[in-house]
């Protein structure tokens, strides 16, 4: 199908509608997989059919904007656009209650302040103590805010020259008309900062991030590998995201 799309891009100014339909049908399982993967962290009232429809729109956008001259497989590019469309839709819905967002910001601030004071990665006990919480209450708080960690880490992955998942999303970012050197430099700095920050995470958090975002394993599978419960994996993942957000916010505020 990719060969047909490449050929059509060369021959026609607009992709024939029958080819678009074939591509959508072929990639329907991919859309369903992405929706189901994201859905595990969403509240029950979110309509998955709506997310699927949004994914189809993202796929159609990928068909229109795919550039065969760029060294990237269409399926990889399509996955990136589908995820982006779905995540944008979820952000626009603002489905996370304000109280949960406030708790998330409180946790981010706590991690940032404790780690700045100590000059190293903070432990659970240290952050819990700074919040005046027993460790079990701290874990309850992590469970409450874990849905917010749905976002930008999904976009860290990109593709290498063989079209395989590697690197960051900057590797397949769309070049719309011309390249803005200042934006490119800022993006490169951010990419390196994220990479360096992930590298400083505690070993178990770094491993969970790697298995989840790079190996496409779910929380249950990661738990089986590490010999811990699925709930504990979710807590570790949430802590990793909170650390990253706190550090990224610090980077932005310092500029």
CA–CA separation, 81 and 77 (whole Å): 6
pLDDT tens digit sequence for 198-249: 788 888 888 888 888 777 788 888 888 889 998 898 889 888 888 888 877 7
Residue 202: per-residue pLDDT: 87
Q: Does domain 98-151+176-253 have CATH number 1.20.140?
A: yes
Check: CB of residue 209 under 8 Å from CB of residue 242.
no
CA–CA separation, 244 and 255 (whole Å): 17
Show me where the domains of the chain are located: 2-95, 98-151+176-253
- The two structure tokens encoding residue 68: 């065969």
Number of other residues whose CB lies within 10 A of the CB of residue 171? 19
CA–CA separation, 51 and 218 (whole Å): 20
Q: What number of residues does the chain have?
A: 255
Q: List the CATH code of the domain at 2-95.
A: 1.10.1740.10
Residue 240: per-residue pLDDT: 87
């Amino acid at each position: 199908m990719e060969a047909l799309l490449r050929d059509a891009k060369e021959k026609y100014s607009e992709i024939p509608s029958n080819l678009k339909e074939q591509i959508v049908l072929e990639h329907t399982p991919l859309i369903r997989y992405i929706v189901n993967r994201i859905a595990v962290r969403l509240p029950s009232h979110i309509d998955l059919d709506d997310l699927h429809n949004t994914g189809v729109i993202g796929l159609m956008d990928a068909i229109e904007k795919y550039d065969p001259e760029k060294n990237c497989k269409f399926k990889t590019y399509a996955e990136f656009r589908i995820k982006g469309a779905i995540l944008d839709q979820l952000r626009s819905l603002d489905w996370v209650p304000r109280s949960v967002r406030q708790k998330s910001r409180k946790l981010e601030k706590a991690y940032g302040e404790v780690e700045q004071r100590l000059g190293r990665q903070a432990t659970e006990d240290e952050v819990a103590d700074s919040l005046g919480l027993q460790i079990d209450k701290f874990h309850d708080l992590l469970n409450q805010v874990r849905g917010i960690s749905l976002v930008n880490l999904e976009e860290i992955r990109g593709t290498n020259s063989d079209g395989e998942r590697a690197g960051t999303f900057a590797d397949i970012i769309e070049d719309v008309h011309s390249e803005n050197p200042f934006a490119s430099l800022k993006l490169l700095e951010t990419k390196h900062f994220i990479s360096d920050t992930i590298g400083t995470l505690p070993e178990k958090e770094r491993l969970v991030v790697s298995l989840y975002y790079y190996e496409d394993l779910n929380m249950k599978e990661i738990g089986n590998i590490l010999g811990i419960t699925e709930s504990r994996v979710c807590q570790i993942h949430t802590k990793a995201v909170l650390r990253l957000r706190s550090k990224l916010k610090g980077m932005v505020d310092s500029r």
